[in-house]
C-alpha cells in the first residue's frame, strides 16, 4: 500500500528536524517569531502576536505535507495492522 504523505515526511525528516531544532533554539534565547495581529489579538502597542506553539504544522506546510492526508494514511496503516 502507498503512503505518499508519510513517504514525503520521511524524505524530509532531517530537514524538518533541523528547522524544528532551530526554532526551539530561538525560543531558548527569548527570540520569538511573530505575525501581524488583527485588532484585539495582541497587547495593543506592537501590532504583533506570537507565532509559536504550532511549529509542526508550519514545518509540514513548508514541506508541502497535507496534514489531513497524513492523518488518513495513519488511520489506514492502523486499520491494516489490526486486520492482520
pLDDT at 53: 64
Question: Number of helices and strands (H, E) in the chain?
Answer: 4, 2
Domain boundaries, the chain: 4-83
Q: Tell me the pLDDT tens digit for each residue of 8-39.
A: 999 999 999 999 999 999 989 988 888 877 76
Cα 68 from Cα 77, distance rounded (Å): 14
Cβ atoms of 66 and 9 closer than 8 Å:
no
Cβ atoms of 54 and 20 closer than 8 Å:
no
Q: Which pTM was predicted?
A: 0.72
**Average pLDDT for 71-79:** 95
Q: Is the dihedral of CA 33, 35, 41, 45 positive or negative?
A: positive
Cα 61 from Cα 66, distance rounded (Å): 7
Amino acid at each position: 500500500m502507498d503512503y505518499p504523505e508519510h513517504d514525503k515526511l520521511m524524505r524530509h525528516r532531517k530537514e524538518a528536524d533541523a528547522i524544528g531544532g532551530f526554532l526551539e533554539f530561538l525560543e531558548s534565547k527569548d527570540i520569538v517569531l511573530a505575525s501581524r495581529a488583527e485588532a484585539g489579538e495582541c497587547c495593543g502597542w506592537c501590532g504583533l502576536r506570537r507565532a509559536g506553539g504550532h511549529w509542526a504544522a508550519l514545518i509540514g506546510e513548508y514541506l508541502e505535507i497535507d496534514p489531513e492526508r497524513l492523518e488518513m494514511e495513519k488511520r489506514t496503516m492502523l486499520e491494516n495492522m489490526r486486520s492482520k
